[in-house]
Structure 1
């Protein structure tokens, strides 16, 4: 439960000079150039696959090897197998593109090859400048989204550009976990009569599963799975156990890795391993044992965004590990997970804000960089 000193971790650092040369190179020829980078664990290769994306946020591989990529200003594109980017796809929803809001995650339905359904999360605009997180789905037909329908809306909407969360995860049983922030409103994360600071669990059509923990409870919304969260932009299912894991952002310190369970309260804003931005202290979680505590917590923060459990063959030593993107840490963080236990074991310094992490069909790791000129990077073993 306690945060280990950084010296206890195997903190892998890539060659700063080689990486800088890679990231500043913008020509197509240079973008395909292979950069071999040495680490304590061996040689890794980082290729810049493409650039020209505006704050890309989420990605998902199609069965034909192409890659769907969202851009926060409100666009969905397809990167072809030759690494060229399509024009923005038609049929996507209007978004609230301010601050952290906009077009967020993209996930394929488990039955995509038959139903062609694509799920998108986004900040949905409302009246008077208000917005909330939303989740919808549509069919990918002829490289456009057809019949897009919103299946879930966070209630209520608030003014402000922060803490939309937005990750979409399918459970092994076919339910959807949708992670949300508390819209920088603090106290509503402890109130089950709204969706702020919660993870919701719904069916693919937006209906509520019959075994949800707060179903038909007075003063609680049926969709809620867990609550007391601050802002969750990392989420993935451990394929070995079927359990959901999330990494959520703390305030000034105290980012957390959690394994959320039904009906559990994770304490925000009553407790935290960090403090408020104005320096005022927040009680640590052990002072309130009724709240669920983090499995790992990070100070300084890593600002986690994006997560995938590695199952490929390119990096045998990473199998079963969670790979988490870091924004402020500008890193790819590897966490070894064994059942309910977790420990950070490796950190690849990328020198740029990492927004999302995905495993390619061939086992390579793809990263999105959070920049005005956002890039797709590919990590593979070196020579």
Structure 2
């Protein structure tokens, strides 16, 4: 049988850009063309490519140790837990690797807590989730996805989840009952197109779960660590979840690092052998994670995200006013933009992918989602002039599609 054209499984459809070098907000392809990165690894690169402090921490640790089985201790595990819990005003940390692992871990902890502390029978325990959610792509997580691309063909599905519309506090309250062990939400739905809930929604979710004796679990894998202009998006509403999942930016774009942080009495239901990870909390991950926490400790990066986000918002609002965008949703330095119906490519209605192709021709990289929507998540360290240049390119690309 002849070899396929590519040896890679086709679970992605990338733009025709092959990156060979990257630094800060810029990447370079094999031909030497340079692009501004307005995706930033879905927020994994909040601090840009190869941030010098993070690279230095990784290099120093590479000369010492990289992996120690959790059968033993190592000298950075407790410092990493202390740094991350201090940063997030939480009590305890469970180290993992990927965001999906962190969410799976939070689900397991919530179910065990529900059984052992609340006394909810395992066969009746439910977790309330939101329509339009994205928490990863494991079998359990896609079981409660409402995205056909993520879900279809992967049954049989894991039971125990109940859906409500995102942002509707009344529907959420109606869905929570005596068998609810947790409510799992994204403070902002990133994959759905940077969907920001109404003001007060997280506070309502906190009140609803407290009254019911259930856990509030917030997935801050994309929204956390500075993206929204705060350390955590929940900070903007003065809320603290019982469990919060972190990932992506926690590894600084260097190594996969994730964690569940939260209440010690909730994470305390884990016992030796009941959960684990070979690479979770490895020394290299901890070294980078500590350096990430140090970058965020004084709030400078969060403030910068707020300031640049205002610039981004003003420019996007102008595009909406000019009819070049149908809508623009923004929080911090993060936006979802929807194309209007009048844009065309080769006689058909243009979609988000067409806009990303037009942007790439102008030296800007972004990613579409769900048809006519494009997400913008520049590194929080991007130069203001570079952000302005990228937004100039966005306007030019939209004008081209509208011609």
Which bin holds the TM-score, normalised by the shorter protein?
under 0.3
Larger helix proportion of the pair: 2
Larger strand proportion of the pair: 1
Structure scoring higher RCO (CA < 8 A, sep ≥ 6) equals: 2
Normalization by structure 2: what TM-score?
A: 0.26
